[in-house]
Amino acid sequence: MKVTDNFLWGGAISAAQTEGNYLTDGRLPANFDYLPLNDQRLKPVYSDDRQSILRTDKDYYPSRTGINFYQTYKEDLKLLSKLGINSFRFSISWSRIFPTGEEAEPNEVGLRFYENVLTELESYQIEPIVTISHFDLPIHLVEKYNGWESRQLVDLYVHYATTVMTRFKGRIKYWIPFNEMNMVLHIPFIGGGVTFNSETNPLQIQYQAGHHQLLANARTIEIGKAINPQAQFGAMLAAGKTYAYTCKPTDVFAAIKSERENLFFSDVQVFGEYPSFTAHFFKENHLKIIITEEDKRLLKKNTVDFVSFSYYSSACTSADTEGLEQVATNGFMTLRNPYLPKGKSVWQNDPLGLRITLNQLHDRYRKPLFIVENGLGTQDELIGTNISDTYRIDYLREHIKELLRAINEDGIEVMGYLMWGIIDLTSVSEGRISKRYGVVYVELDDQGHGSGQRLPKASYDWYQKVVKSQGQAA
């Protein structure tokens, strides 16, 4: 196995973190537009009165302005195209196409925006990789249905997905119906648009929401293949090997359980059925998930073509975590791994962990793998017009080297490597743009003030060489 000319080198962004213009051209707010710039962002929403908590409007909400990609996409894509990338992952904002989620007819202006994005990409011969739902859904669907808790969402999503797959037929080969489905278990309001009240068992809602997303995923594949038999559909998970803190069997088993949870939804997307421990797990946790025989048939029939994933770091767990130091990974906490150095990011960098994760997913799934997010989110210093982000280069270099080893030495089929946040965007977990990921700097502060000017960082030149040399210059 070698990195061939077909290898997809590129970058990724999402609508909610970049587009801004949340009320422009008929768009209405999404759940994401109610995530404030404070430590409440990731907290599950508990309320006996959903409407009142959702519509308070008392904070600053970064996604409403984003980086203004809705207006700047042409110049941004031009700058990114000069990197020599051959692929670009973006997501469609559901509420730009169906503002409340319940309209019969789509918002034509919204569709035209993505049509224009595709036209730009085609002019640079850049392959689009499109996420249909990247952590966002119309807020109306949260208020009326409690998001993905409701089975109604399956039909509404399928209507939306069918609309975009029909409109962009032949122009998009790679579809990712849902970003990181497993995150509904960690950040339920973001991952599933669900809220809880004093009566509910959160896990019940989270797993029911996940089941509904799995159904929507399966129906999207079925319809998408009918629209375009060449289309390829991917599972997408927030990945990262979970190590056992020690070789104590109880720690090893704790790690197995944690991995099962992390791989739960991708297992269903790949194998078309729930893992064997599911019945016991649901019973143990008093979960009554409604899964019909028809649901099972649908899942079995419509599995994914590839497995895409994000990788930022590994995780670590123990059967007895008391007294052990915790660190953040993306979206949740994990044990500090004493064998990994402290990095410049909130998480512990573990490049070999990427190779381990690739091997693990390959052994388990035997499907082409696709790294659709990897990057370093940290502060950059702007000196004049220069950003010397050598730490980002180091992070990316080490990870790309492990990727190449996984391909060349372990024989793993990898479709591509898309670095995350190729242009600075607002972070999901923190809302800050100052947690920067890009090889392109966006001159804005955390409150959205600034010129918005785009400036290539040192990592821009470096990544350009990496792409040109098929990774060899890393």
Nearer to ligand BG6, 302 or 310 (CB): 310
Count of beta carbons in the 10 Å neighbourhood of residue 248: 13
What contacts 10, CB < 8 A, 6 or more positions away?
A: 85, 86, 87, 88, 89, 126, 127, 129, 416, 417, 418, 419, 422
Nearer to ligand BG6, 141 or 239 (CB): 239
Question: How far, in Å, are 218, 266, 291, 385, 451 from residue 294 at the CA level?
Answer: 12, 20, 8, 58, 54
Return the residues of window 15-34 that contact ligand BG6 according to CB under 6 A. 17
Nearer to ligand BG6, 303 or 427 (CB): 427
238 binds ligand BG6 (CB under 6 A): yes
Burial 81-114 (b: 16+ CB within 10 A, else e): bebbbbbbbbbbbbbbbbbebeeeebbeebbebb
- Please give the Cα distance from 388 to 381 (Å, whole number): 8
| Contact letters for ligand BG6, residues 310-329 (x by CB under 6 A) | x-------------------
CB of 133 to ligand BG6, least distance (A): 11
Q: Which of 64, 355, 367, 435 binds ligand BG6 (CB under 6 A)?
A: 435
Helix, strand, coil percentages, rounded to 5, for the chain: 40, 15, 45
Return the residues of window 368-387 that contact ligand BG6 according to CB under 6 A. 373, 377
CB of 330 to ligand BG6, least distance (A): 5
Count of beta carbons in the 10 Å neighbourhood of residue 323: 5
Nearer to ligand BG6, 91 or 195 (CB): 91
Q: Which of 93, 182, 427, 459 binds ligand BG6 (CB under 6 A)?
A: 427
Beta bridge partner(s), residue 419? 11
* Span interacting with ligand BG6, options 95-103, 226-234, 284-292, 420-428, rule CB under 6 A: 420-428
Look up 373 and say whether it is catalytic: yes
* Span interacting with ligand BG6, options 200-208, 277-285, 424-432, 453-461, rule CB under 6 A: 424-432
- Please give the Cα distance from 164 to 226 (Å, whole number): 14
Return the residues of window 64-123 that contact ligand BG6 according to CB under 6 A. none
Q: Which of 150, 179, 303, 337 binds ligand BG6 (CB under 6 A)?
A: 179
397 binds ligand BG6 (CB under 6 A): no
389 binds ligand BG6 (CB under 6 A): no
CB of 237 to ligand BG6, least distance (A): 10
Cβ(108)–Cβ(163) below 8 Å: no
Nearer to ligand BG6, 17 or 213 (CB): 17
149, 259, 373, 402: the active-site residue: 373
- Please give the Cα distance from 182 to 164 (Å, whole number): 24
- Please give the Cα distance from 178 to 121 (Å, whole number): 22
Beta bridge partner(s), residue 9? 417
428 binds ligand BG6 (CB under 6 A): yes
Cβ(427)–Cβ(346) below 8 Å: no
Nearer to ligand BG6, 188 or 272 (CB): 188
- Please give the Cα distance from 3 to 187 (Å, whole number): 35
Half-sphere exposure of 247 (CA within 13 A, CB side): 0
CB of 363 to ligand BG6, least distance (A): 23
First to last CA, the chain: 19
Residues classed as catalytic: 373
Binding residues for ligand BG6 (CB under 6 A): 14, 17, 179-180, 238, 310, 330-331, 373, 377, 420, 427-429, 435
